Amino acid sequence: MSETSFTPRVFSGIQPTGNLHLGNYLGALKRFVDWQAMDAETIYCMVDLHAITVWQNPTDLQKSTRELCAGFIAAGLDPEKSILINQSQVPEHAQLAWVFNCVARMGWMQRMTQFKDKAGKNAQNASLGLFAYPALMAADILVYHATHVPVGEDQKQHLELARDIATKFNHDYGVDFFPITEPVIEGAGTRVMSLRDGTKKMSKSDVSDASRINLTDDADTIAKKIRKAKTDPDALPSEVEGLSDRAEAKNLVNIYAGLNNQSVEDVLVDVGGKQFSEFKPMLVELAVSKMSPITTEMARLMEHQDEIDKILARGAERARAITAPILRQTYDIIGMVPPAPF
Ligand code: TYM
């Protein structure tokens, strides 16, 4: 983890679209919990406004948002220690995003690879929100003056854009107001790949459910998916270099390292020379022991949706104590007349 000489304010978010998977867990959620354990000020968000950049069924969106909150808590986030929020309940995110839409340049947005991937061949038919997505993401972070943002590798370009927006805003208005945020992309789990194809990212949108492990999968399903995971015929190497052109082997070792809080080097010391027939059962046991308690706790929490809603309402109140003054200061800087007292 990066060394800092001040108390960091950590912000990150996850979209409430469909199931959380092992990539979200290792690349983000588990690391959110690590930051919480370091007594950093931590704010974690269910980004429902980002979710609607592509069409969402309203009933499913509500369910997924609550389920994501349950997943946050089941994985170890404590709503007393971390501020847990639903993006649409903290209106300053969207308000600052508008300001950033006016700071960011069209050319910057056009370079975003995730927009190109998500919009596909028919970019003219994509929503304007999908195009402006990274400006809202920058607002999420900067409306808290957050300093550190733990994410998986796929968010790197968006975080660079958040830095560009902060730099341009500060420059255009001659201020030193928004911090230049530090992306935190560290550890073995920041790029978990598909179990069916080690060159493709594990993702919610993959048509094959066998390509990912969902946080809602039971022990049998996890075991089946790992047993079926694509591999090659060779034994595991004892050195990291031996994984360089073996995408699937590398992925499974990375997953093992991420789940077991180990470096890939240390894992290979233990498993180097083993065949997959021996390694896969070890991975099954580890994955089930780490994931099953989360799955069970998530299901239990989902039976108390009123509690989840209260946690989100309380989170929004705590968040707004931070975001409202920062938005007001932003408006002052750019010349918006403040509302006069009656
Ligand atoms: P989202 O919802 O796609 O993913 C949530 C987090 O999970 C990470 N992740 C992965 N990590 C490792 N391997 C994978 N296969 C994998 N798939 C997903 C993502 O990198 C991410 O950290 N735009 C963001 C949400 C967001 C956000 C923010 C994040 C909105 N505002 C502000 C940080 C700060 C997204 O769509 O993540």
Same domain, 318 and 257: no
Name the pTM for this structure.
Answer: 0.96
pLDDT (tens digit, 9 = 90+) per residue, 91-132?
A: 999 999 999 999 999 999 999 999 999 888 889 999 999 999
**Residue numbers of the domain that contains 152:** 9-189+304-334
Same domain, 36 and 130: yes
Atom of ligand 1 nearest to the CA of 133: 23
Residue nearest to atom 14 of ligand 1 (CA): 23
Same domain, 31 and 165: yes
pLDDT value of residue 122: 87
pLDDT value of residue 121: 86
Whether residue 192 has its Cβ less than 6 Å from ligand 1: yes
CATH number of residue 149's parent domain: 3.40.50.620
Same domain, 117 and 235: no
Compute the average pLDDT of residues 276-296: 96
Residue of 118, 168, 224, 274 marked catalytic: 118
Same domain, 150 and 270: no
Q: How confident is the model at residue 193 (pLDDT cuts 50, 70, 90)?
A: very high
CATH number of residue 238's parent domain: 1.10.240.10
Instruction: Please report, rounded to a whole number, the percentage of residues in the chain having pLDDT higher than 70.
Output: 98
Pocket test for ligand 1, best of 11, 14, 259 (most atoms within 8 A of CB): 14
Is 324 within a domain?
yes
Whether residue 87 has its Cβ less than 6 Å from ligand 1: no
Same domain, 50 and 151: yes
201 classed as catalytic: yes
Is 185 within a domain?
yes
Tell whether the model's pLDDT for residue 1 goes beyond 50.
Answer: no
Same domain, 152 and 285: no
Compute the average pLDDT of residues 302-326: 98
pLDDT value of residue 171: 98
pLDDT value of residue 221: 96
Whether residue 315 has its Cβ less than 6 Å from ligand 1: no
Whether residue 246 has its Cβ less than 6 Å from ligand 1: no
Residue of 81, 168, 200, 204 marked catalytic: 204
Give how many domains the chain has, as a whole number. 2
Q: How confident is the model at residue 5 (pLDDT cuts 50, 70, 90)?
A: very low
Is 197 within a domain?
no
Tell whether the model's pLDDT for residue 208 goes beyond 90.
Answer: yes
Is 65 within a domain?
yes
Same domain, 170 and 317: yes
Is 1 within a domain?
no
Whether residue 47 has its Cβ less than 6 Å from ligand 1: yes
Residue of 30, 201, 250, 280 marked catalytic: 201
Tell whether the model's pLDDT for residue 257 goes beyond 80.
Answer: yes
SS3 per-residue string spanning the chain: CCCCCCCCEEEEEECCCCCCEHHHHHHHHHHHHHHHHCCCEEEEEECHHHHCCCCCCHHHHHHHHHHHHHHHHHCCCCCCCCEEEEHHHCCHHHHHHHHHHCCCCHHHHHCCHHHHHHHCCCHHHCCHHHHHHHHHHHHHHHCCCCCEEECCHHHHHHHHHHHHHHHHHHHHHCCCCCCCCEEECCCCCCCCECCCCCCCECCCCCCCHHHCCECCCCHHHHHHHHHHCCCCCCCCCCCHHHHCCCHHHHHHHHHHHHHCCCCHHHHHHHHCCCCHHHHHHHHHHHHHHHHHHHHHHHHHHCCCHHHHHHHHHHHHHHHHHHHHHHHHHHHHHHCCCCCCCC
Is 97 within a domain?
yes
Atom of ligand 1 nearest to the CA of 192: 13
Same domain, 144 and 24: yes
Same domain, 231 and 317: no
Is 194 within a domain?
no
Compute the average pLDDT of residues 172-184: 95
Same domain, 121 and 219: no
Is 196 within a domain?
no
Same domain, 227 and 172: no
Compute the average pLDDT of residues 282-300: 96
Whether residue 190 has its Cβ less than 6 Å from ligand 1: yes
